[in-house]
Amino acid sequence: MTYARTTQIGIPTMDCVPDFPSSADTAGELHTRLGELRRQESLPRVRLPDGRQAWLVTRHEDVRTVLNDRRFTRDVMGVRARQSGADPGGARSVNMDGRPHSELRSLVAKAFTVRRIEAMTPRVQAWTDDLIDAMEREGPPADLVAHLAVPLPAIAICELLGFPVEDRDALSGWCERITAVGDGAPDPTAWLELTKYIEHLVPVKRAALGDGPAPDADILTSLVHAHDSANALTMEELLSLAVVVLAGGLETTQTAISAGMLRLFRNPDQLDKLRADPDLVTGAVEELLRYQPVIDVNRPQIATEAVRLGDQQIGEGDLVQISINAANRDAAAFPDSERFDVARGPNPHLAFGYGAHHCLGAALARLELRTAFSTLLRRLPNLRIAAPPESLSWRGGHVTLRLEELPVAW
């Protein structure tokens, strides 16, 4: 770790600051440095994976402010363009705020209503059972990542989007490349290949539209109809929105299933409590979302005007990097915050964000997680880890953490 030279006004210079602490470096555990930084009175500066410098926000109250205050935005490029006197123009994106964001969000929101997601429960259960059936046929030890954590979310999001399920491996590969962080990331070639793939599906959806989309039409069909009949979005916006939904539905839930199960293995008393009372699964999912890092690097935001967070003045145009993982361990919001407790309540975690950009796919993720954990523990009551936890590999350098494999036996 390197440290900053200090200017006369006491602000670290750009060339030498601590790197953002990644949980990939600590085997999926919350990096201890994040807890130390949260307990500081003033906000620290960190170097992001792409080399930019930002204020690091780690306290629960402050992270909620950044996520829900109009003086912060995820539309960094748009703000930078306006600061330079240029017209950002171009396509709308879900990173924008206000009307552009709400217009795009409304085009896909119907697919993620709690009612529609709950209607998927029998199918999610059937997919889960089929995947566990295949794992049982192969016999132990088996990799829970490959057999369940990766395919289950991929099947679900492909169905919602209207993508062929058999293409899920290729889709996952493209998403892995476009969610990389650091120098030279994300991979522009992967974005181009993925958008071309989606573009080739558009005529198929258009041909099946007839008089209009059915009430339960897949997302891509609905977007094609919005593009063709109401001119509600451009083709560039359609493709971008489909990619965002796909990427959001894949890697985060894949990691939450595998890393969540590992977390239970690491806490056998909590695993036993859940086995003894399966009705605890809903609260257990919330606690896993709070305690287990899944998103490693949240999207940076930018201040549109001067803002004070605690005793720190954030200047207009300053970048701000939140850590939801650190905020979810804040003792000011969670009594005994460092204890993993499947019966915890209330649990105001920020795993799905907060405010206008709260994750659209939260209900789907919760359904998949509840189904995966409850089915595993019901069908395989002796399920156990089949490798030392310290021997497991974690992928870094991406927005989302990933446990590469999780050998299990039963």
pLDDT in tens, 25-66: 999 999 999 999 998 888 999 999 999 999 999 999 999 999
For the chain, domains (ranges, CATH) are 23-409 (1.10.630.10)
At 201, list the tokens: 């599906």
What is the band of 409 on the pLDDT scale with cuts at 50, 70, 90?
very high
Predicted confidence at residue 2, as pLDDT, reads: 39
Predicted confidence at residue 230, as pLDDT, reads: 86
Q: Which helix (H) or strand (E) holds 203?
A: helix 188-207
With a pLDDT cut of 70, the percent of the chain lying above it is: 96
What is the band of 15 on the pLDDT scale with cuts at 50, 70, 90?
low
Predicted confidence at residue 282, as pLDDT, reads: 98
State the virtual CA torsion across 65, 253, 169, 173 in degrees, nearest 10.
Answer: 30
pLDDT in tens, 313-359: 999 999 999 999 999 999 999 999 999 999 999 999 999 999 999 99
Residue 309 has pLDDT above 80, yes or no: yes
What is the band of 130 on the pLDDT scale with cuts at 50, 70, 90?
very high
Tell me if 209 sits within 8 A of 229, measured CB to CB.
no
Tell me if 311 sits within 8 A of 41, measured CB to CB.
yes
Residues contacting 373, CB < 8 A, separation 6+: 257, 260, 261, 264, 274, 281, 284, 285
Residue 166 has pLDDT above 90, yes or no: yes
Tell me if 367 sits within 8 A of 124, measured CB to CB.
yes
Is 0.85 topped by the overall pTM? yes
